[in-house]
């Protein structure tokens, strides 16, 4: 098992596979993350996946999770291009699960979106992910290797909540103007990754979300309520350009509600945290039920 981009999600995956007695190679860029991978019981390999020679991966016949993010600029993903070239030179994996983004759908004006919705990425970060998807599909057809694509919504967990933002009273857009957003709990995401590797048909695409979208403002308010903090102040959307970060503004330009029916029905996944309220409850000492 090879996990490319073995950050917090990859390390949780590594721990689950090590508990089952499987060997895992976690590929990372920094020495600090390599130490965390080793602490999870996996073998760590420090590589720059965009530039280094990748012979050490020895990918032939292996199962690969590709969680490595693309570079932070441009409309293409040269890291995935370099990876595919390495497969051609050193052997193709048996199966690859690619962790992409639901951002490839672009702005859907709040519509319900399943995996058959035509991708129309606009933001550069989404264009890079769409480029990776297309490159990997071409690679899978040419090599005969299995490919599964997971389009992932916003990931949250007890240790990755916007508490600092809420404590600093940064504003959010008025509730009636806020776009729809979607999310998935990190623990459920890890289980979905495993199910996709084990049971998904080749070529399958899945929306990874809990199926209960809400607005971004509702998300921040629910987190604040669960943490016992004041809700963030609300401002009109027209005032957002001067008050919010460029990153937040880019998310406000897209609105969609994601269906996870295919994920639940085809992979038989049962979510531990099927909505935000249940996902937040254990973070603050309350029963998820």
Q: Is the pLDDT of residue 105 over 90?
A: yes
pLDDT at 242: 80
For CA atoms 188, 189, 192, 198, give the dihedral sign.
Answer: negative
Measured CA distances, 53 to 16, 71, 96, 188 (Å): 29, 17, 20, 34
CA-CA distance, 137 to 148, in Å (whole number)? 9
Of 107 and 248, more confident? 107
CA-CA distance, 137 to 145, in Å (whole number)? 10
Per-residue pLDDT tens digits for 32-41: 999 999 999 9
pLDDT at 286: 59
For CA atoms 42, 55, 29, 153, give the dihedral sign.
Answer: negative
Per-residue pLDDT tens digits for 173-225: 999 999 999 999 999 999 999 999 999 999 999 999 999 999 999 999 999 99
Of 197 and 251, more confident? 197
Beta strands 214-215 and 180-181 are antiparallel
Q: Is the pLDDT of residue 289 over 50?
A: no
pLDDT at 2: 98
| Predicted TM-score of the model (pTM) | 0.95
What's the pLDDT band for 240 if we cut at 50, 70, 90?
confident
Residue 67: which H helix or E strand, with range?
A: none
* Neighbouring residues of 261: CB distance < 8 A, sequence distance ≥ 6: 114, 211
Over residues 24-29, mean pLDDT: 97
Measured CA distances, 35 to 8, 42, 69, 199 (Å): 12, 10, 20, 31
Per-residue pLDDT tens digits for 260-288: 999 999 999 999 999 999 999 999 975 54
CA-CA distance, 212 to 286, in Å (whole number)? 21
CA-CA distance, 80 to 286, in Å (whole number)? 42
Nearest residue to 122 via CA among 250, 216, 209: 250
Burial of 107 (0-12, 13-18, 19+ CB in 10 A): middle
Angle, vertex CA 131, rays to CA 130 and CA 132, nearest 5: 90
pLDDT exceeding 70 applies to what percent of the chain?
Answer: 99
Of 72 and 285, more confident? 72
pLDDT at 288: 46
The residue behind tokens 């935000």 is 276
**How many residues belong to the chain?**
289
pLDDT at 287: 52
Cα-to-chain-centroid distance, residue 240: 26
Over residues 133-142, mean pLDDT: 98
Contact present, 274 and 185 (Cβ < 8 Å) = no
pLDDT exceeding 90 applies to what percent of the chain?
Answer: 92
pLDDT at 238: 83
- Check residue 58 and give left, alpha or beta (phi > 0: left; psi -120 to 50: alpha): left
Over residues 131-145, mean pLDDT: 98
Average pLDDT over the chain, rounded to whole? 95
């Amino acid at each position: 098992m090879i996990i490319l981009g073995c950050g917090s999600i990859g390390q949780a995956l590594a721990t689950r596979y090590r508990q089952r007695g499987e060997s895992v190679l976690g590929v990372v860029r920094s020495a600090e993350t390599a130490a965390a991978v080793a602490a999870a019981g996996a073998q760590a390999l420090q590589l720059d996946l965009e530039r280094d020679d990748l012979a050490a991966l020895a990918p032939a016949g292996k199962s690969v999770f590709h969680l490595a993010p693309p570079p932070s600029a441009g409309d293409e993903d040269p890291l995935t291009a370099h990876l595919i070239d390495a497969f051609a030179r050193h052997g193709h994996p048996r199966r690859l699960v690619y962790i992409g983004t639901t951002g490839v759908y672009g702005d859907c004006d709040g519509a319900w979106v399943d995996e058959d919705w035509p991708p129309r990425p606009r933001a550069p970060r989404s264009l890079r992910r769409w480029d990776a998807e297309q490159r990997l599909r071409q690679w899978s057809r040419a090599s005969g290797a299995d490919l599964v694509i997971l389009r992932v919504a916003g990931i949250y967990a007890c240790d990755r909540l916007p508490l600092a933002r809420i404590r600093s009273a940064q504003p959010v857009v008025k509730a009636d103007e806020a776009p729809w957003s979607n999310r998935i709990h990190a623990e459920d995401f890890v289980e979905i990754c495993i199910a996709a590797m084990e049971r998904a048909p080749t070529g399958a695409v899945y929306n990874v979300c809990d199926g209960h979208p809400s607005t971004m403002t509702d998300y921040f308010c629910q987190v604040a309520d669960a943490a016992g903090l004041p809700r963030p102040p609300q401002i009109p959307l027209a005032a957002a350009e001067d008050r919010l970060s460029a990153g937040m503004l880019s998310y406000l330009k897209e609105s969609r509600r994601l269906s996870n029916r295919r994920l639940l029905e085809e992979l038989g996944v049962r979510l531990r945290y099927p909505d935000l309220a249940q996902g937040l409850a254990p973070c603050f000492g309350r029963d998820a039920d």
